[in-house]
Structure 1
Amino acid sequence: MSDQSTVSVRPGGPDDAPAVLRLLDVATAWLVARGRTGQWGTRPPSTDPGQIARAEEWATSGDLYLAMRGGQPVGALVVGAATEHVPPATEPELYVRLLVTDRAYAGLGIGARLLDHAAEVARARGLGLLRVDCYGGDDRALVRFYESCGFTPTEPFTVVRSGREPWPGQLLVRRLD
């Protein structure tokens, strides 16, 4: 049951890196418990120096937003420039660099609320295109989630990773009115 009214969105800041890492740890553990290790692997992001540095960078970027419920961060969104592994946009855009939610609050529409916030940010910046990429492997459930939020799949892509299996990705777009 979706109840987005109990979820607010606030800008993130430098003190929010631990909250982002907690959300990533919870999501990774949820994926691992379901045998879905292709998306983010098995290692808790809070134990990875690269992920810690990335969370700290996001928290100081001005482009981090947290979904809050009862004073608790229950989701995180990072927007900005597209990642290097996707084709460049042919027009100005806002790119969703991270979307993660606390699975303990599944069904409240937190991810959809954060994506709506990304659309609001894009419109406020005069942009008509929102793009995101996601894990396109397994049963493509994540692709279907983004489709349910108004995104259309475009190009699939593969990220080649040294010493690890290739990562199947899917690029999606959402036009904004």
Structure 2
Amino acid sequence: MTGQQSPSLRPGGPADAPAVLRLLDDATAWLVARGRTGQWGTGPASTDARRIAQADAWARGGGLWLATLADRPVGALVVGAANEHVPPAVEPELYVNLLVTDRAHAGAGLGGRLLAHAAELARERGLRLLRVDCYAGGDGALARWYERQGFTPTDPFTVERPGRGPWPGQVLVRRLP
């Protein structure tokens, strides 16, 4: 990242759930500071029982990868099976369940590097399809970012959230050679 060494990637484990929550908290605060509260709301993940359980499940599930600089996690990637709120794939796939990076390294290509790693994991498993879903509300900037990473939008969807309103999402796919 600017003036620093390149981050290393390592598999995550149960002890890394707090690091994932910190990355989510920091990203949420960054979004809130820019008036972009539709994606993850306004509260920290580290105080939300549902998000804590989710981070624990990711950390124990075998699909967590961390990008680290000087042993500090600066990005997290979780791959595995598709989320239940998206249409099923028509062929075997690897699904990106989470991608979050430290905003202090925005613009340095960290998210793209994590997605490249996801593509390599898919290829190693003999898979030719990588899918992800993301928040499609607001100005659609997140979906456009994934398009710049080589993904093509497919299925829009909406998650109904009682008491909080609907959450618009977009599934994107990337075919692997």
TM-score if structure 1 supplies the norm length? 0.96
Change (3 A) 1:4 1:161: farther
Q: What CA deviation, in whole Å up to 9, does each residue of 1:81-123 have, x standing for no partner?
A: 0011110000000000000001011121110000000001101
Alpha carbons 1:4, 1:109 under 8 Å: kept: no
Gaps of 5+ in 2: none
Alpha carbons 2:158, 2:166 under 8 Å: kept: yes
Distance (Å, rounded) in 2 between the aligned partners of 1:116 and 1:160 = 31
Q: What CA deviation, in whole Å up to 9, does each residue of 1:51-87 have, x standing for no partner?
A: 1111111111110000112221000000010011110
Q: Could you tell me which residue of structure 2 aligns to residue 63 of structure 1?
A: 63
Q: How does 1:134-153 map to 2 (within 5 A)?
A: 134-153=134-153
Distance (Å, rounded) in 1 between the aligned partners of 2:122 and 2:2 = 24
Q: What CA deviation, in whole Å up to 9, does each residue of 1:13-56 have, x standing for no partner?
A: 11100100000000000000001000000010000111111111
- Structure 1 runs (4+) deviating above 3 angstroms are 1-5
Aligned length: 177
Alpha carbons 1:76, 1:101 under 8 Å: kept: yes
Q: How does 1:129-168 map to 2 (within 5 A)?
A: 129-168=129-168
Q: Which amino acid aligns with 2:78?
A: V
Distance (Å, rounded) in 2 between the aligned partners of 1:151 and 1:2 = 26
Q: What CA deviation, in whole Å up to 9, does each residue of 1:110-163 have, x standing for no partner?
A: 100000000011011110000000000111110111011100001111111111
Match of 2:161, SS?
coil
Q: Which amino acid aligns with 1:38?
A: G
Alpha carbons 1:4, 1:108 under 8 Å: kept: no
Alpha carbons 1:96, 1:132 under 8 Å: kept: yes
Alpha carbons 1:4, 1:110 under 8 Å: kept: no
Alpha carbons 2:19, 2:73 under 8 Å: kept: yes
Gaps of 5+ in 1: none
Q: Which amino acid aligns with 1:98?
A: L
Change (3 A) 1:10 1:81: same
Distance (Å, rounded) in 2 between the aligned partners of 1:18 and 1:44 = 12
Distance (Å, rounded) in 2 between the aligned partners of 1:132 and 1:3 = 31
